[in-house]
Amino acid sequence: MPEIKSESKLLLDLVLHILLTPIVFFQIIFGKKQFKDLFRPFHDIYLFLFDAKFTSFIVILTILISVFAWLFLPEEIFSLLLNYPQDLLDYTRWFSLISSGFIHANLIHLFGNMLALFIFGKVLERRIGTKKTIWIYLGAMLISSIGDSLIGLSLSSTGGSSGASGAIMGLVAAAILFEPLYITYQLLIPLPIMVVGWLSIYADFSGILNPSGDGVARFAHAFGYLSILMIMFFFSGEEKSKLKKGFYINLISLGIFGLIYFLFL
């Protein structure tokens, strides 16, 4: 499988290209390099965007379906693609457990989800490969939709839900267990991906305990995180060991952060 470049590796390569630009320019003048070598950074960025095949594909597909739905689908057809709690009781509507994951309410909803999908999906695909990333994504989408529907039925909710966030939270949970120390720039500063995952988990479970009416499907997110507990049964013994090791790294790191907080803050 071709190498899937990390964010840090891309950043270092871009900085190196910039620093070497004057040297490359003189090499071009003396015939040692070609003019196209000046544009190598753009080639590297292109490869970075598309080297994780499934992640890139699902991001593009979700964007296309969401935009098509906004522009061309009548409201009554659009609403059929949403997932409603009562759909769980009607097998002819079970398709909505998946279809709802490919449409989004608005541009902000879509952008936020696709950014998270790109970052966490790429980390996971780089670590465990394309096939297992697909299993986790689709498995988390299905489990989170079912879980959210069950909660909705118990609360007599009738509202429809949309978005890939439940599936993405499955990727988040898996990524922080498989690659807890991977450095990401999602929050514009370099942080271990487990820290970004903790912030996401904290926000969602805080939202469940203290509902704010922000329209975010917190229960779908929660079931997305928890889906890894079911999906892991399909992993090999070696992969389960890696998950266990990642869990301990997260647990110890959380303990250290908690100790620092209570002692010094």
The CA distance from 207 to 49, in Å, is 32
Domains in the chain and their CATH numbers?
Answer: 1-51 (no CATH), 53-264 (1.20.1540.10)
Question: Does the pLDDT of residue 10 top 70, yes or no?
Answer: yes
Confidence of residue 188 (pLDDT cuts 50, 70, 90): confident
Of 115, 70, 78, 76, which is closest to residue 99 (Cα–Cα)?
78
70, 131 in Cβ contact below 8 A? Answer: no
Predicted local confidence at residue 217, as pLDDT: 79
Query: Angle of helix 130-154 relative to helix 53-72, nearest 10 degrees?
Result: 40
Q: How far is the CA of 156 from the CAs of 95, 148, 178, 211, 217, in angstroms?
A: 21, 12, 37, 16, 15
Least confident segment among 18-22, 82-86, 139-143, 166-170: 18-22
Average pLDDT over residues 72-92: 94
The CA distance from 161 to 159, in Å, is 7
Q: Which residues pair with 206 in a beta bridge?
A: none
Report percent pLDDT > 90 for the chain: 71
Average pLDDT over residues 209-233: 84
Confidence of residue 35 (pLDDT cuts 50, 70, 90): confident
pTM, two decimal places: 0.90
Predicted local confidence at residue 46, as pLDDT: 92
Report percent pLDDT > 70 for the chain: 97
Confidence of residue 1 (pLDDT cuts 50, 70, 90): low
